[in-house]
Structure 1
């Protein structure tokens, strides 16, 4: 009975592991499917370290099994005492030299790639006309959202990072409140965003994200930063260089005009209650106290994690603390004369916000 129970426990454990492993390998999220050269370099280091660990485990297991089989009591007899060896210079040299060699094999590429990926000298390169040759993004992490400013292009967005393919994209990382950590699993390792200093690094993307199941890569905060840390996601949209340039020009020149009576009503409500914190233009340097909403209609999530539809948006507006505890968005009572937004007001706001787009 106990043997059967143990077998079922083992089966249950394997089944649970299978479910967890089934989530690995998604192109938009997994470190096992690198999307650029930085990710591939780090993935190769992962393979190398895993191979070294596997080698050590296999050798130790072989020695253990050989000793177990060769010197078992049934084979050598009851009264046999193995030869007692006190110290062996040969063995001591072997088990000292081999680990050192393995560490050297792992250390050399690790140090090389660490310095390679930390080299951001090209961030300031300019062409003959004095224009920056590479895209630079200033990333600001807040509780619990992300702002992406393109200082050389004069635009800003939030919650959705847009970058070109086939070139290095440089990042200046800083936090607005507490320590966060910027991480795009498919593109490369995480980098902390601190309040007191700016961290810099670069990433690369091979292909446009439109072919992905979600249409975007997923980014996350990798530093426990508060009660809604797990909900602090952002999306990464990668475009071919010519498409990226067109997107930049549209962001600079786009002037949204509310279409329809309902959206116009929503714009009026927005301008009397929300405009103090949220910008609706992509041109500029900052998005205000809250996320820039210029591309809200082009996103695929509300608040970074909810479905991108009007019902989810209305729920979020009417009670942001319920869905993302600890965030700094005010409850509607504080900006709507002490009352919740009515259903008609929510419909109007949702229609207006869903119409904020630079891609449609």
Structure 2
């Protein structure tokens, strides 16, 4: 009875796992490809799954036939014969054919997806043809630099739809992994070398998700690994160009509109500016970018990448970052803020906007 109870429990958990594996959202699912790379990888997954299912089905059918047709009926020992050479050839050749069917497109796609030669191409005027983004992974946040556009932002990656976007990936501390599930497979970010790849964000898929996808760190990197998320905003080309122009137009920090926000700016200048930039220019040396760029903080939808951007959550983060993201670099780097100081800083941060 105990064994039966265990099997029932095991069966229940198995069914729950199968059921939950089918749950998901279009902006987080690898089974709902949202671009060229994701579609190619999805097709390879389907091809390999079909081959495996066919093999399992054939083996199962043969097993059942043999089990019933050749089951032992008496105590006589059947005639012993050597192996059938035709059958041996067949079950040797068939796996080779199946492996080739799977291997050839896999190798071809591997080389196609690894081709980043367009990153270095330029037009007649010497301007780069491709959109290149330098991704820098940190504990536990993301920085996105657009070197040709000379802007930098954090936590929210903005990309145009229906266009190849090339990425240079690296890490500033430990190994991380850049992954946008709906757009393509993950790629490691290392401290000692730069990995390169490209993605395409499909406009039709973006419409289904209101232009929003989500990315994650896919490499265990510390206590807050599971909280190292980022948002991807996929915009039509015209809107993306407008966003770039708006970011390039910001030369000075946003001017506080209220007395409380002005007080917050003074506190920020004394205690936060050493790590956080409030202009989107990439002129600041990479080594000095010790914390997320906050130039468009008021436009972002999330605080610390995981909390909805509102007054309550900003205050929660400023009051005790450790409760939000354990072991983050901001924890313990400054003295305790008073409630009045937190109110002032919150008012200032909410006013840091680029999009009008």
Q: Normalising to structure 2: TM-score of the pair? A: 0.92
| Cα displacement (A) at 1:212 | 4.9
Give the conservation status (yes or no) of the 8 Å contact 2:211–2:234.
no
Q: Pick closer, same or farther for the CA change 1:107–1:150 going to 2, 3 Å.
A: same
User: 185-194 vs 90-99, which deviates more?
Assistant: 90-99
Query: Is residue 66 of structure 1 aligned with residue 91 of structure 2?
Result: no
State how far apart, in whole Å, the 2-side matches of 1:51 and 1:182 are: 29
Q: Return the offset for 1:27.
A: 1.3
Q: Deviations over 1:181-222 (max 9, x none)?
A: 111111111111111111111100111787455752111111
Change (3 A) 1:208 1:328: farther
Which range moved further: 94-103 or 109-118?
94-103
**Distance in structure 1 (CA, Å) of the matches to 2:157 and 2:83:** 61
Once the two structures are overlaid, the 10-residue window that deviates more, 112-121 or 214-223, is 214-223
Give me the whole-angstrom Cα distance separating, in 1, the residues matched to 2:162 and 2:209: 21
Whether contact under 8 Å (2:38, 2:185) holds in the other structure is yes
Instruction: Name which of structure 1's ranges 137-146 and 311-320 shifts more when overlaid on structure 2.
Output: 311-320
Q: 1:221, 1:232 within 8 Å by CA — same for their partners in 2?
A: yes
Q: Is contact 1:209-1:216 (8 Å) kept?
A: no
Give how far 1:160 is off. 0.7
CA distance in 1, matches of 2:37, 2:9: 41
Asked if 1:134 corresponds to 2:119, the answer is no
**Residue 278 of structure 1 aligns with which residue?**
276
1:228 aligns to 2:224 (yes or no): yes
Partner residue in 2 for 1:193: 189
Output the CA distance in 1 between the equivalents of 2:282 and 2:61: 64
Structure 1: distance between partners of 2:22 and 2:67: 37
Alignment partner of 1:294 is 2:298:
no
1:320 aligns with 2:321: yes
**More deviation in 216-225 or 296-305?**
296-305
1:219 counterpart residue number: 215
**Contact 1:208 1:237 (8 Å CA) reproduced:** no
- Give the drift of 1:9: 3.4
Secondary structure of the residue that 1:169 maps to in structure 2? strand
CA distance in 2, matches of 1:320, 1:209: 35
Q: Is the 8 A contact 2:133 2:168 kept in 1?
A: yes
Q: Distance in 2 between matches of 1:297 and 1:82?
A: 82
Map 1:231-270 onto structure 2 (within 5 A): 231-254=227-250, 255=252, 256-270=254-268
Alignment of 1:71-150 (within 5 A): 71-73=70-72, 77-150=73-146
Q: Distance in 2 between matches of 1:140 and 1:9?
A: 45
Q: Are the counterparts in 1 of residues 211 and 235 from structure 2 also a CA contact under 8 Å?
A: no
Task: Quote how far apart the aligned CAs of 1:117 are.
Answer: 0.7
TM-aligned CA distance change 1:259 to 1:177, over 3 Å: same
Matched residue SS, 1:189? coil
Kept in 2, the 8 Å contact 1:142–1:175? The answer is yes
Whole-angstrom distance in 2 between the partners of 1:174 and 1:138: 8
Partner secondary structure for residue 188 of structure 1: coil
Runs of 5+ consecutive residues of structure 1 not aligned to the other structure: none
What is the SS of the residue equivalent to 1:223?
A: coil
Q: Give 1:9's aligned residue.
A: 9
- Within a 5 Å distance, the mapping from 1:335-346 to structure 2 comes to 335-336=334-335, 340-346=336-342
1:20 corresponding residue in structure 2: 20
Q: Distance in 1 between matches of 2:44 and 2:152?
A: 35
**Displacement after TM superposition at 1:98 (Å):** 1.1
Answer yes or no: is the 8 Å Cα contact 2:34–2:205 preserved in 1.
no
Displacement after TM superposition at 1:178 (Å): 0.9
In the alignment, is the contact (CA less than 8 A) between 1:156 and 1:285 conserved in 2?
A: no
Contact 1:253 1:283 in 2 (8 A): no
* Whole-angstrom CA distance in 2 between matches of 1:298 and 1:213: 19
Q: Distance in 2 between matches of 1:124 and 1:213?
A: 32
2:165 aligned partner: 169
Equivalent pairs, count? 351
- Structure 2 unaligned blocks of 5 or more: none
Conserved 8 A contact 2:201-2:234: yes
1:309 alignment counterpart: 310
Name the Cα RMSD after superposition. 2.1
Alignment partners' CA distance in 1, 2:111 and 2:240: 29
CA drift of 1:257 comes to: 1.6
